[in-house]
Structure 1
Amino acid sequence: MNKDTFITLYSRDIKRLRAEIEQYPSESALWARLPGTINTGGNLCQHLIGNLRTYVGLTLGGHAYTRDRDAEFGQRRFSRARMLDELETLERIVTGALEGLDGGKMLEEYPRTVLDMFPEQPVGVILTHLLAHFSWHLGQINYHRRWITQVQSTQP
């Protein structure tokens, strides 16, 4: 894939994530745990922000960021309003970092180890992996939001 395709796909999915967060019926619904699960929609969203800020924004774009992965899953770091602001910032950072990549850069080795199973990790492969990871969690958030919305709409 070329950078324009990555920009289109990342931008699309960050906007989809933003739409999911906006559709939660309440702030508390964002943090509700489903039976048999460990992650809330809010925690998964925080995780996606931290992941892309680290692996795209910081590593490829040079945007300062200090990640606390444990807090992404264990704390309510952002209100819903702040989360939506963070997603707007994330889209600008990610698309800006991707704009700076030329065709040759996609073939260069990614400067951090991400996938232990691959001895070579070109930037394009890592960007594909990160996009798949993002989409996987976006689907989980969609399911969480639909389930929570259904439960809350059926309660008196």
Structure 2
Amino acid sequence: MDNFFAELFERELLKLKDELNKFKDENNIWQAAAGITNTAGTLTLHLLGNLNFTIGTQLGQTGYVRNREQEFSLTGVPRETLVADIEKTIEVIRFSFETVDRARLDEPYTLDFVGPKSTGWYLTFFYGHFTYHMGQINYLRRILEAD
């Protein structure tokens, strides 16, 4: 099946990679601005952990074990490593959606975060979560690197 969710998530992951590569100063990936809690690096780790768990483990049965606490405590990961992890996550997305058909989207999602909902509903929820944080990363880069 040509799954539009796989296409959308891959598209956003490529945007994330592009956004990290737009940082003129790699150190700014791990900097925050006044009143902002999370760095672009932290948000990247969080987004990758989320997708690897909610899609990779839950749909693709990849066996990924999420360490959400580490997503918010780890710092200083080189841009090159983050970009490589984005590429790996794209492969996880492609693999995980290989067997997802329209019927699967209507089935209940394997976990209950906000109530029992369909897999399609949760995938839409996760997509919104991803794009929300992408906007934060974009604005943070612009704030930190304003000319």
* Partner residue, 1:15: 14
In the TM superposition, 1:72-151 aligns within 5 A as: 72-76=71-75, 78-115=77-114, 118=115, 120-150=116-146
Letter in 1 for 2:58: T
Q: Confirm or deny: 8 A CA contact 1:3 1:101 kept in the other structure.
A: no
Letter in 2 for 1:73: F
* Partner residue, 1:46: 45
Q: What is the distance in 2 between the residues matched to 1:64 and 1:25? A: 36
Structure 2 gaps, min length 5: none
- The two structures have a TM-score, normalised by structure 2, of 0.94
The structural deviation recorded for 1:135 is: 0.3
RMSD of aligned residue pairs (Cα, Å): 1.4
Q: What is the distance in 2 between the residues matched to 1:24 and 1:63? A: 31
The structural deviation recorded for 1:3 is: 5.7
Q: Secondary structure at the match of 2:53?
A: helix
Quickly say closer, same or farther: Cα 1:103–1:17, change in 2 above 3 A: same
* Partner residue, 1:24: 23
Q: Deviations over 1:81-139 (max 9, x none)?
A: 11000000001101221121011110111111122xx3x31100010000000000000
Q: What is the distance in 2 between the residues matched to 1:134 and 1:77? A: 22
Q: Confirm or deny: 8 A CA contact 2:3 2:100 kept in the other structure.
A: no
User: How many positions carry a matched residue from both structures?
Assistant: 147
Q: What is the distance in 1 between the residues matched to 2:76 and 2:126? A: 22
- The two structures have a TM-score, normalised by structure 1, of 0.89
Structure index of larger Rg: 1
The structural deviation recorded for 1:64 is: 2.0
The structural deviation recorded for 1:78 is: 2.7
Structure 1 gaps, min length 5: none
Would you identify which runs of 4 or more consecutive aligned residues in structure 1 move more than 4 Å?
none
